[in-house]
């Protein structure tokens, strides 16, 4: 499907604004590297979490069915769960996860199952992620226990904590991350608290001793070469 087809499809959906940049003259622009369209905001329900998840899932399943590789931004990390339900529906995806926290808890805030701290535990339970192609990078900061780390260890999920990240450096860590996910379909997710709060203070759970801006850009560049979302 071409970008203009995507735009036409998006225009038929209430609330979607499609923008296609067809005449980019700078070869470095993303538009020259692929066919892109801004599909606007995904429908949500701010008054009902479970209904909101269903709406996001339905929206992204329509995109995936049309052969579109989605790139989404915004919301808290629970928003990744319905996206994974779409991209991992036919077979589990690999995952590179940049974050200060694992978001692999079973329950949060007294046992709630669908929160920003639990999305990837649910995704694992639903068979959406291949644990052997799953790597978390930058983990540190506050925690409520070791349950999430234990779950990761029990399932063979690789955690590269912030101390190891600093010791080895961007190139070495990303080389390992790319070898873990291999050539299969891979979902890349990025929590803003991966970056040190000195540079990105607008997050609910700021965690110090993270990476500076230049190293952050290094991770982004190496993921750009990965070429799949
Ligand atoms: Mn986080």
- C-alpha 15 to ligand 1 mean position (Å): 30
What pLDDT, on the 0 to 100 scale, is given for residue 204?
Answer: 82
| pLDDT level of residue 71 (50, 70, 90 thresholds) | very high
For residue 227, the model assigns a pLDDT of 44
Q: 57 lies in a domain?
A: no
Q: Is residue 149 part of a domain?
A: yes
The confidence score (pLDDT) of residue 144 equals: 77
* Cα–Cα dist 179/171, whole Å: 12
In a domain? residue 53: no
Would you say residue 105 lies in a domain?
Answer: yes
In this prediction, residue 55 carries a pLDDT of 98
Structural domain containing residue 164: 92-224
Distance of CA 21 from the midpoint of ligand 1 (Å): 33
Collapsing DSSP states into helix, strand and coil, what is residue 190? strand
Say how many domains are in the chain. 1
pTM of the complete model: 0.81
- Contact between residue 128 and residue 88 where contact means Cβ atoms under 8 Å apart: yes
Q: Is 35 left (phi over 0), alpha (psi -120 to 50) or beta?
A: beta
Ligand 1 centroid – CA 110 distance (Å): 18
Q: How far, in Å, is the centroid of ligand 1 from the Cα of 165?
A: 16
pLDDT at res. 228: 46
Residue 219 lies in a domain: yes
Give the residue carrying structure tokens 């990476």.
Answer: 211
The pLDDT score that the predictor gives to residue 21 is 46
| pLDDT for residue 186 is more than 90 | yes
62 CA distance to ligand 1 middle (Å): 28
Residue-wise pLDDT tens digits, 30-62: 666 778 889 999 999 999 999 999 999 999 999
**Which CATH number do you get for residue 140?**
3.40.800.10
Q: How far is the CA of 31 from the centre of ligand 1 (A)?
A: 30
Kindly give the distance from the C-alpha atom of residue 114 to the centroid of ligand 1, in angstroms, as a whole number: 15
Q: Does any domain span residue 210?
A: yes
Distance 193 CA to ligand 1 centre (A): 5
Measured in angstroms, how far is the CA atom of residue 189 from the centroid of ligand 1? 11
6 in any annotated domain: no
**CA atoms of 113 and 206, how far apart (whole Å):** 22
Q: Is residue 229 part of a domain?
A: no
- Coil, helix or strand at residue 127: coil
pLDDT for res 52: 97
Q: Ligand 1 centroid to 97 CA: how many Å? A: 10
């Amino acid at each position: 499907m071409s970008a203009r087809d995507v735009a036409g499809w998006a225009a038929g959906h209430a609330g979607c604004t499609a923008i296609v940049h067809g005449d980019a003259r700078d070869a470095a622009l993303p538009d020259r590297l692929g066919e892109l369209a801004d599909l606007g905001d995904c429908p949500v329900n701010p008054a009902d979490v479970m209904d909101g998840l269903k709406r996001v899932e339905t929206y992204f399943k329509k995109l995936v069915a049309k052969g579109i590789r989605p790139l989404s931004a915004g919301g808290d990390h629970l928003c990744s769960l319905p996206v994974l339900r779409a991209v991992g529906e036919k077979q589990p995806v690999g995952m590179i996860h940049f974050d200060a926290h694992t978001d692999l808890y079973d329950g949060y805030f007294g046992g709630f199952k669908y929160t920003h701290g639990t999305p990837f535990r649910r995704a694992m339970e639903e068979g959406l992620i291949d644990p052997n192609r799953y790597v978390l990078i930058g983990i540190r900061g506050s925690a409520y226990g070791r349950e999430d780390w234990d779950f990761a260890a029990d399932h063979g999920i690789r955690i590269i904590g912030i101390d190891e990240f600093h010791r080895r450096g961007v190139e070495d860590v990303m080389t390992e991350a790319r070898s873990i996910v291999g050539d299969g379909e891979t979902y890349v997710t990025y929590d803003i608290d991966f970056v040190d709060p000195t540079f990105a203070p607008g997050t609910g759970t700021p965690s110090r001793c993270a990476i500076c801006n230049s190293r952050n850009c290094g991770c982004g560049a190496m993921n750009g070469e990965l070429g799949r979302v």
